[in-house]
Amino acid sequence: MKVDLIAGARPNFIKIAAIIDAIKEFGENKIKFRLIHTGQHYDKNMSDSFFQQLGIPKPDYNLEAGGGTQAEQTAKIMVGYESLLKKKKMDLCLVVGDVTSTMACSIVAKKMGLKVAHVEAGIRSGDLMMPEEINRIVTDSISDYFFTTSETANNNLIKYGVDTSKIFFVGNTMIDTLVKYKNNLIKPSIWDELGLIKKNYLVMTLHRPSNVEEVSNLRNYINEIVINSNNIPIIFPTHPRTSKKLNLIDLSFSNLHLIKPLSYLEFNFLIEKSKAVITDSGGITEEATFMNVPCMTLRDNTERPETVELGTNELLGTNPKAIFPALNKLFLNQWKKGTNPPLWDGKTSRRIINHLLHL
Ligand code: UDP
């Protein structure tokens, strides 16, 4: 079987790494793949470091579609991928997650007669203001095979009329990568520079357009977090979209430390030992759940309800006033303990490849 693997943005690389490991385990003669990097995320901090640390092979093609608006990126990816498929016919296009690359390549592949497999299918926030929600709906509406992370995702797909024979509940590829590397995480330099102490600092990340586009939102969140932080260090690796906005405000708080995005192994070292993480990321809520680290999500909804129902995540919403009671609970050591959702066991990618070989 000839398969195109699509990876475009930071969370994609972590999932694709696990899938490539599984393909190699089964034997590359069974599944011949091309790795296509769309170039959506392109610099060292957001792309290269993941390839190096996670042993992802050099992409066979790079569509160099970084920068520009959502529509410009979508268009560049579609044109680039179509020209690749015109030169060589493949059997299946495997897309992961919910980024622009996921949607753009699935549309091109389907129109060119390939089967489309979507890893992390069926998750829904119900919030059409999120670009990712649109990517999820479009991708799932044309996919042939649906690999899911939760029963909720299965039920969402069934509600949309997907035939159950096409839905494979396999677990979470992001957790595969964490299971593989959890004993080899790397201490980032900020640890010694600040003299960080285990369970005595917070990590925060924000990058959703709805949270960071308006500088005043960003400032209000940061103010509330700093005021209620008991003065422990707050480490804030900033996504490029967020950095641009943060440059516009004066942030001189002695315990707030803005740093560049960390590599995967450094970032998860920091999360594992933190008192808590405050975030609007989807993937980080899953990793925090797996590592049993308290997680506060600054969003009104989540497409990953299992991180709240079973895991350590709590949805605080988008009113900064919700931050005080949450941090208060944390410092009183009253944060809930989580359990690991079903099939988040490090074997998801193997299940996916096994299914693909039997299709
Ligand atoms: N991550 C990282 N370095 C950072 C911040 C995040 O390696 O400085 C990793 C994190 O461990 C997770 C992924 O990036 O695996 C999450 O990506 P992001 O928050 O950009 O996307 P989302 O999951 O919200 O789609």
268 lines ligand 1 (CB under 6 A): yes
For residue 271, give the nearest of 253, 289, 252 by alpha carbon: 289
The angle, 0 to 180 degrees and rounded to 10, between the axes of the packed helices 348-358 and 173-181 is: 130
Return the best residue to mutate from 125, 180, 239, 264 for the ligand 1 pocket (most ligand atoms within 8 A of CB).
264
168 lines ligand 1 (CB under 6 A): no
- Kindly report the protein residue whose alpha carbon is nearest to atom 9 of ligand 1: 264
Q: Give backbone dihedrals phi and psi of 92, rounded to 5 degrees, phi first.
A: -145, 145
Residue-wise pLDDT tens digits, 230-244: 999 999 999 999 999
Q: Is the pLDDT of residue 5 over 90?
A: yes
66 lines ligand 1 (CB under 6 A): no
Ligand 1 midpoint to CA 359 (Å): 32
Domain locations along the chain: 2-171+344-358, 189-331
pLDDT-derived band of residue 270, with 50, 70 and 90 as boundaries?
very high
**pTM score:** 0.97
Length of the chain: 359
The answer to whether 2-171+344-358 and 189-331 have equal CATH topology is yes
The arrangement of secondary structure in 189-331, i.e. its CATH architecture, is 3-Layer(aba) Sandwich (3.40)
212 lines ligand 1 (CB under 6 A): no
Q: Which atom of ligand 1 is nearest to the CA of 97?
A: 25
More confident residue, 42 or 235: 235
Instruction: Read off the pLDDT of each residue in 159-179 and give the average, rounded to a whole number.
Output: 98
Q: Which atom of ligand 1 is nearest to the CA of 281?
A: 24
Percent pLDDT > 70 in the chain is 100
Active-site residue, from 37, 41, 118, 207: 207
Question: How high is the pLDDT of residue 93?
Answer: 98
Stated as kind and residue range, the H or E segment containing 256 is strand 256-259
Cα–Cα distance list, 189 to 149, 262, 263 (Å): 34, 10, 11
Is 41 among the residues known to form the active site?
A: no
Q: Is the pLDDT of residue 201 over 90?
A: yes
Ligand 1 midpoint to CA 114 (Å): 30
Cβ atoms 145, 118 nearer than 8 A: yes
Cβ neighbours of residue 340 closer than 8 Å, sequence gap 6 or more? 289, 290, 310, 311
For residue 37, give the nearest of 19, 67, 10, 70 by alpha carbon: 10
Name the average pLDDT for the chain: 97
For residue 37, give the nearest of 86, 77, 71, 92 by alpha carbon: 77
Ligand 1 midpoint to CA 254 (Å): 25
**Torsion angle, alpha carbons of 257, 260, 265, 268, to 10:** 40
267 lines ligand 1 (CB under 6 A): yes
Give the integer Cα–Cα distance in Å for 140 and 116: 9
237 lines ligand 1 (CB under 6 A): yes
Q: Which atom of ligand 1 is nearest to the CA of 237?
A: 8
Ligand 1 midpoint to CA 284 (Å): 6
Instruction: Read off the pLDDT of each residue in 16-33 and give the average, rounded to a whole number.
Output: 95
Cβ neighbours of residue 27 closer than 8 Å, sequence gap 6 or more? none
pLDDT-derived band of residue 191, with 50, 70 and 90 as boundaries?
very high
Copy the structure tokens of residue 56.
């992802």
Q: Which atom of ligand 1 is nearest to the CA of 99?
A: 25
- Kindly report the protein residue whose alpha carbon is nearest to atom 24 of ligand 1: 281
Which CATH homologous superfamily contains domain 2-171+344-358?
A: Glycogen Phosphorylase B; (3.40.50.2000)
Give the integer Cα–Cα distance in Å for 2 and 115: 11
Cα–Cα distance list, 143 to 90, 212, 221 (Å): 16, 32, 38
